[in-house]
């Protein structure tokens, strides 16, 4: 399986890895077929994502997708972050093998779940 240099960089040196205590938004998504589990923690002020961390149990593609997606949402508004698609995650990584595309979908879904969690707490 061939990975781009950017995938390998994010896998070897993941950005924003860790946990935020008492996050404003939390999302956890798992894929039963491959066993990958992705958690996203958001710190949000005035509807802007001011901090984001992730914890992922999975393959290189899952970790790289998590890492790059956290970079993509940091500093964005909630609405901007909700517009980030798995396709944008894949493009940012310079591509993923076809059998690993589900990893980028997990990243998109985990971010959306964390934002939905935040919005549900705001009400």
Which sequence positions are flagged as catalytic?
34, 103
Angle CA 93–98–104, to nearest 5: 45
Report the DSSP pairing between strands 37-45 and 25-30: antiparallel
**Closest Cα partner for 39 from 23, 55, 51?**
55
- Bridge partner list, 64: none
Radius of gyration of the CA atoms of the chain, in A:
13
Cα 84 off chain centre by: 10
Cα 8 off chain centre by: 16
């Amino acid at each position: 399986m061939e990975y781009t240099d950017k995938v390998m960089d994010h896998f070897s040196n993941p950005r924003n890895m860790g946990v935020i205590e008492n996050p404003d938004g939390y999302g956890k998504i798992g894929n039963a077929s491959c066993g990958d589990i992705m958690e996203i923690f958001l710190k949000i002020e005035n509807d802007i994502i001011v901090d984001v961390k992730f914890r992922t149990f999975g393959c290189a593609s899952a970790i790289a997708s998590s890492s790059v997606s956290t970079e993509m949402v940091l500093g964005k508004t909630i609405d901007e972050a909700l517009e980030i698609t798995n396709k944008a995650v894949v493009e940012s990584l310079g591509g993923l093998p076809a059998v690993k595309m589900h990893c980028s979908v997990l990243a998109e879904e985990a971010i959306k779940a964390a934002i939905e969690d935040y919005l549900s707490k705001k009400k």
